[in-house]
Structure 1
Amino acid sequence: MARKKPMDGEFIAFNIIYEDGSLSSNRKVPTSALDGLADTAGAKAVIEAQDRDIAERSGRPRGRVKSLERVKRK
């Protein structure tokens, strides 16, 4: 089985839990859009913008973000 490439520092991955209970894993947020590694408010804004774009293209709206957690690198 092929191994995943390690993230190179340009992105930080987040796991997202939506209010309806659905989960979206390893959502990438550019580090340039954040004020430091602990900036969850900035990450939430970027992810909500991504969700709006996805909903617009697919015609299926996503729920509201309930919580997000930074993925720990191995």
Structure 2
Amino acid sequence: MAAKPGSKANFVLFDVFYEDGSRRSNRKVPAEILGGLDGDEPARKVIEEQDNEIAKASGRAALAISQLVRVDGKRK
């Protein structure tokens, strides 16, 4: 859903790599939960919750995440 005009919705995009070798691009995570001592680790929980909702709706099991990479970052 698009942000309302004048709002300051701020998201960070991540590419998600799964243990089966698949990849999902541009997953949105609210910027306010990132940073601090945990860095980008809180993004994993948010994306796992998103994946669980998608899996529930589709009737398929959620895939295990192997790596998260900021869209502006480089894969390690």
TM-score, with structure 1 as normaliser: 0.76
The corresponding residue for 1:57 is 57
Equivalences, count = 65
The residue that corresponds to 1:30 in the other structure is 30
How far off its partner does 1:61 sit? 1.7
Structure 1 residues not aligned, in runs of 5+: 1-7
The aligned counterpart of 2:48 is 48
Instruction: Report the Cα distance in structure 1 between the residues aligned to 2:56 and 2:21, rounded to whole angstroms.
Output: 21
Q: Deviations over 1:4-52 (max 9, x none)?
A: xxxx76110000000000000010001123235x722100010001001
* Unaligned runs of at least 5 residues, structure 2: 1-7
Aligned CA-pair RMSD: 2.1
Does the C-alpha gap of structure 1 residues 9 and 69 become closer, same or farther in structure 2, counting only changes over 3 Å?
Answer: farther
Q: Secondary structure at the match of 1:32?
A: helix
1:60 is displaced (CA, Å) by 1.2
Moved over 4 A (4+): none
